[in-house]
């Protein structure tokens, strides 16, 4: 994994994290007293939130706050965890294409951009489900995860992946939790496709949105009002889109110390160059 | 073809939907209550959804036939548009749909009978006449093998010979038309830009040559065809690309038999433009200077009118001025 992987994985339980830590070569770090966290040098983060909707929402909020200074770059968010289904075989797994919150009755539909991964419905319940009335994976975090993570990223990059750990023949009360890491490890081919593809989309998005370094340079050198900052941001984007990033540096060389003057100079120059 | 097919529960059992779903058993199918749960939600990203668009099968409520924007049409008759589909299978960078919706999924309204009823009511309100545009919020033909739009709506207009249907498209899916007896009051209007613009901005669109081939077949079969030069985007190359485009088109099509030819400059509502710029800050087209008039944004050009008139002069070498109009 050479490329940066701007992906946040959130799991509810330490046993769900165990296989992922090994699979993704993550190391534990001790940034938080509330959550167990892992990461690697490729920007991949894994957080153990605790069980239930409140816990996972808090975990997502915590991670997003940690990453708030990433120059506006977005990250993909993936919830991985175990779930129950009435008749799906143990160890089968899918990406949620419909997430229904049982208590509110509302559904969310994560946009599906990734091929090669099984898909299916997910129902989030407040208490463990024993009868599994719908053809869906029953679990306890997905709806809250999706609602919270889409506040910090685009919906296409927020996904949930559920591995079946219990069914009518193997009820939730009899789960052997020692099998959880193995069930998740068995899904490594699908998970690696998913994580790689999500991170590729996030990387491309961030690359398209990347601002020239000049923008940050000027922001650190000259006082700009909020409106001026927006104007400068757009000007920098326009120079970049026209392949004129180097021109920005030349204007900087003129040492325009006044923000209004600088914006005016940049505007006049690019309008002159690009007008048909 | 589609990443997922979402189906409103209300239409799940309709015959049109059942037939359509039977054709794509390999595509994941997800039932929803209303298409608005899936389409155009906040936090969605049009650009990303273009990677793998989904199809949404839904029922259209409310107004189905709307007054066309002023200056949209080619004559003074009352003009209307209807959209049995939202969004387009193509990915044209200049398209206003990118700013209109946050979702790139295709919504196909399958209650064609309700559209038909609304169209007929409007035709009768207009004493059997009026001009009806299809292809404002979508490309009417591009999804024809899935939608069967033509096979439903052409017979409607055949019954009302004084009402005119314009099908706006960039698609070469004309088999449905060639297999049908000509409907004299139906016009197939194909949009073109220069080959340079097509390469740069019209992603997934059939080549100019293929589109011309399709129009040629239609013209030979007796269908009325029209040409829409939209949007005109002037570049550093000047008029040469337009000279080449016109020469290519009129070497293939009979200019005298064209129904009409129009041109329109690049323009869209300011709010749409703002949203598109956020999606494509890296796009050269949107880095150009712009000017705003009455809430509409256009590319700024001090010589716009001179250029437009020069293009029109070139065009009028091939067609009579009676056939030509400028789209407002």
To test the contact with chain A by mutation, choose from B288, B300, B301, B308 the residue with the greatest count of A C-beta atoms within 10 A, namely B288
Supply the range of the domain harboring residue B100.
Answer: 5-326
Partners of A208 on chain B (C-beta within 8 Å) are 47, 280-282
Measure the CA–CA gap between A232 and A222, rounded to whole angstroms: 11
Burial class (CB in 10 A: 0-12, 13-18, 19+), A105: exposed
Between CA B277 and CA B98 the distance in angstroms is: 10
- Pick from B3, B103, B287: which is nearest to A113 by CB? B3
Instruction: Give the minimum alpha-carbon distance from B28 to chain A in angstroms, rounded to a whole number.
Output: 7
Predicted pLDDT at A70: 59
* Best CA proximity match to A215, nearest among A176, A245, A179: A245
Q: Is B322 left (phi over 0), alpha (psi -120 to 50) or beta?
A: alpha
Q: Give the residue ranges of DSSP H helices in chain A.
A: 14-23, 53-66, 142-149, 180-185, 188-209, 213-221, 226-241, 245-253, 259-274
pLDDT, tens digit, 9 for 90 and up, residues B223-235 = 999 999 999 998 8
- Give the pLDDT band (50/70/90) at residue B327: confident
Residue A276 has pLDDT above 70, yes or no: no
From B37, B299, B307, residue closest to A109, measured CB to CB: B37
B131, B185 contact by CB (below 8 A): no
What is the SS3 assignment for B262?
strand
Structure confidence at residue B109 (pLDDT): 98
pLDDT digit string (tens) for A14-32? 999 999 999 999 999 877 7
Phi/psi of residue A129, nearest 5 degrees: -100, 135
Residue A256 confidence (pLDDT): 59
Rounded to a whole number, what is the distance in Å from the CA of A241 to chain B's nearest CA?
A: 4
Looking at the complex, report in whole angstroms how far the Cα of residue B2 sits from the nearest Cα belonging to chain A.
10
pLDDT exceeds cutoff 70 at A253: no
* Cα gap A208→A196, rounded to integer Å: 18
Span A48-57, average pLDDT: 98
Confidence of residue A247 (pLDDT cuts 50, 70, 90): confident
- Nearest-neighbour CA in chain A from B210: distance (Å): 29
The share of chain A scoring above pLDDT 90, in percent, equals 78
- pLDDT for the residue A94: 98
Query: B43–A154: do the CB atoms touch at under 8 Å?
Result: yes
Q: Using a CB-CB distance cutoff of 8 angstroms, which residues of chain B are in contact with residue A209? A: 281-282
Give chain A positions within 8 Å (CB) of B49: 111, 113, 156
The chain B residue lying nearest A96, using CA atoms, is: B30
Angstrom CA distances, A55 to A10, A11, A48, A52, A58, stand at: 11, 10, 9, 6, 5
Residue A71 has pLDDT above 70, yes or no: yes
Per-domain boundaries in chain A: 7-209, 213-274
Which residues in chain A have Cβ-Cβ distances shorter than 8 Å to B105? 111
Residue of A nearest to B301 (CA): A276
Chain A residues in contact with B301 (beta carbon < 8 A): 275-276
Domain spanning A7-209, CATH architecture: 3-Layer(aba) Sandwich (3.40)
Among the partner residues A97, A114, A151, nearest to B30 by beta-carbon distance: A97
Q: What share of chain B is helix, strand, coil (3-state, %, to 5)?
A: 35, 20, 40
B287 and A241 in contact by Cβ < 8 A? yes
Q: Return the CATH number at B250.
A: 3.80.30.30
- HSE-CB for B29 with a 13 A CA cutoff: 15
Check residue A255 and give its pLDDT.
57
Q: For B184-208, what is each residue's pLDDT tens digit? A: 999 999 999 999 999 999 999 999 9
How many Cβ pairs closer than 8 A exist between chain A and B?
104
Q: Which residues of B touch A (CB under 8 A)?
A: 3-4, 6, 28, 30-33, 37-38, 41, 43-45, 47-49, 51-52, 54, 103, 105, 233-236, 277, 280-284, 286-289, 299-302, 304, 307
Q: How confident is the model at residue B320 (pLDDT cuts 50, 70, 90)?
A: very high
Verify whether the Cβ–Cβ distance A274 to B287 is below 8 Å. Answer: yes
Listed in sequence order, the residues at least 6 apart from A4 whose beta carbon sits closer than 8 Å to its beta carbon are: A42, A43, A199, A203
0.85 surpassed by complex ipTM: yes
Give A121 to chain B, closest Cα distance, Å: 8
The answer to whether B32 contacts A98, with C-beta atoms less than 8 Å apart, is yes
What stretches of chain B show up as alpha helix (H) in DSSP?
15-23, 46-49, 97-100, 112-125, 144-147, 149-158, 175-178, 195-201, 208-221, 240-252, 270-279, 284-287, 304-315
B44/A274 CB distance under 8 A: no
Give the pLDDT confidence of A162-216 residue by residue, as tens digits: 999 999 999 998 888 899 999 999 999 999 999 999 999 999 999 999 999 999 9
Domain count, chain B: 1
The pLDDT value recorded for residue A107 is 98
Helix (H) or strand (E) holding B79: strand B79-82
**Mean model confidence pLDDT for chain A:** 93
Contacting B with CB below 8 Å, chain A residues are 97-98, 107-109, 111-115, 119, 121, 150-151, 153-157, 201, 205, 208-209, 234, 237-242, 270-271, 274-276
What pLDDT, on a 0 to 100 scale, did the predictor assign at position B76? 74
């Amino acid at each position: 994994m050479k490329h940066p992987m701007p992906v946040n994985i959130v799991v509810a339980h330490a046993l769900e994290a165990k296989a992922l830590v090994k699979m993704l070569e993550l190391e534990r770090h001790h940034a938080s007293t509330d959550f167990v966290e892992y990461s690697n040098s490729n920007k991949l983060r894994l957080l153990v939130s605790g069980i239930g909707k409140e816990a996972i929402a808090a975990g997502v909020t915590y991670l997003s706050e940690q990453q708030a200074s990433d120059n506006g770059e977005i990250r993909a968010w993936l919830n991985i965890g175990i779930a129950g289904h009435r008749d799906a075989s143990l160890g089968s797994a899918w990406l949620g294409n419909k997430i229904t919150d049982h208590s509110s009755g509302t559904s969310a539909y994560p946009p599906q951009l990734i091929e090669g991964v099984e898909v299916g419905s997910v129902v989030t319940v407040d208490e463990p489900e024993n009868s599994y009335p719908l053809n869906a994976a029953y679990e306890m975090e997905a709806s809250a995860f999706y609602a919270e993570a889409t506040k910090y990223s685009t919906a296409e990059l927020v996904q949930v992946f559920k591995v079946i750990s219990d069914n009518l023949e193997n009820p939730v009360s009899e789960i052997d939790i020692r099998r959880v890491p193995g069930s998740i490890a068995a899904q490594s081919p699908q998970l690696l496709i998913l994580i790689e593809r999500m991170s590729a989309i996030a990387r491309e998005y961030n690359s398209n949105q990347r601002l020239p370094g000049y923008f940050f340079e000027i922001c650190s050198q000259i006082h700009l009002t909020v409106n001026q900052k927006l104007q400068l941001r757009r000007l920098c984007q326009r120079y970049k889109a026209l392949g004129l990033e180097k021109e920005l540096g030349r204007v900087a060389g003129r040492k325009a110390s006044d923000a209004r003057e600088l914006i005016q100079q940049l505007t006049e120059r690019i309008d002159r160059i690009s007008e048909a | 073809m589609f990443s997922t097919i979402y189906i409103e529960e209300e239409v799940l059992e309709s015959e049109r939907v059942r037939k359509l779903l039977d054709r794509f058993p390999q595509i994941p199918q997800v039932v929803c209550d209303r298409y608005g749960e899936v389409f155009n939600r906040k936090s969605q990203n049009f650009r990303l959804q273009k990677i793998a668009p989904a199809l949404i099968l839904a029922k259209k409520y409310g107004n189905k036939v709307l007054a066309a924007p002023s200056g949209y049409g080619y004559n003074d008759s009352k003009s209307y548009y209807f959209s049995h589909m939202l969004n387009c299978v193509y990915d044209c960078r200049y398209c206003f749909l990118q700013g209109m919706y946050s979702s790139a999924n295709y919504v196909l309204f399958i209650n064609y009978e309700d559209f038909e009823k609304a169209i007929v009511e409007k035709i009768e309100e207009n004493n059997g006449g009026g001009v009806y545009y299809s292809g404002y919020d979508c490309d009417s033909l591009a999804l024809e093998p899935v939608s069967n739009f033509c096979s439903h709506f052409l017979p409607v207009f055949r019954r009302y010979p004084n009402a005119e249907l314009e099908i706006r498209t960039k698609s070469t899916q004309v088999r449905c038309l060639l297999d049908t007896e000509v409907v004299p009051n139906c016009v197939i209007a194909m949009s073109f830009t220069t080959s340079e613009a097509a390469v740069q901005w019209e992603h997934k669109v059939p080549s100019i040559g293929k589109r011309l081939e399709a129009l040629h077949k239609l013209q030979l079969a007796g269908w009325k065809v029209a040409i829409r030069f939209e949007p005109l985007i002037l570049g550093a190359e000047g008029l040469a690309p337009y000279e080449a485009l016109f020469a290519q088109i009129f070497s293939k099509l009979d200019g005298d038999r064209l129904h009409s030819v129009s041109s329109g400059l690049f323009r869209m509502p300011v709010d749409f433009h703002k949203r598109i710029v956020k999606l494509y800050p890296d796009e050269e087209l949107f880095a150009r200077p712009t000017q705003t008039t009455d809430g509409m944004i256009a590319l700024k050009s001090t010589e716009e009118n001179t250029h437009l008139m020069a293009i029109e002069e070139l065009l009028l070498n091939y067609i009579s001025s009676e056939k030509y109009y400028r789209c407002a």
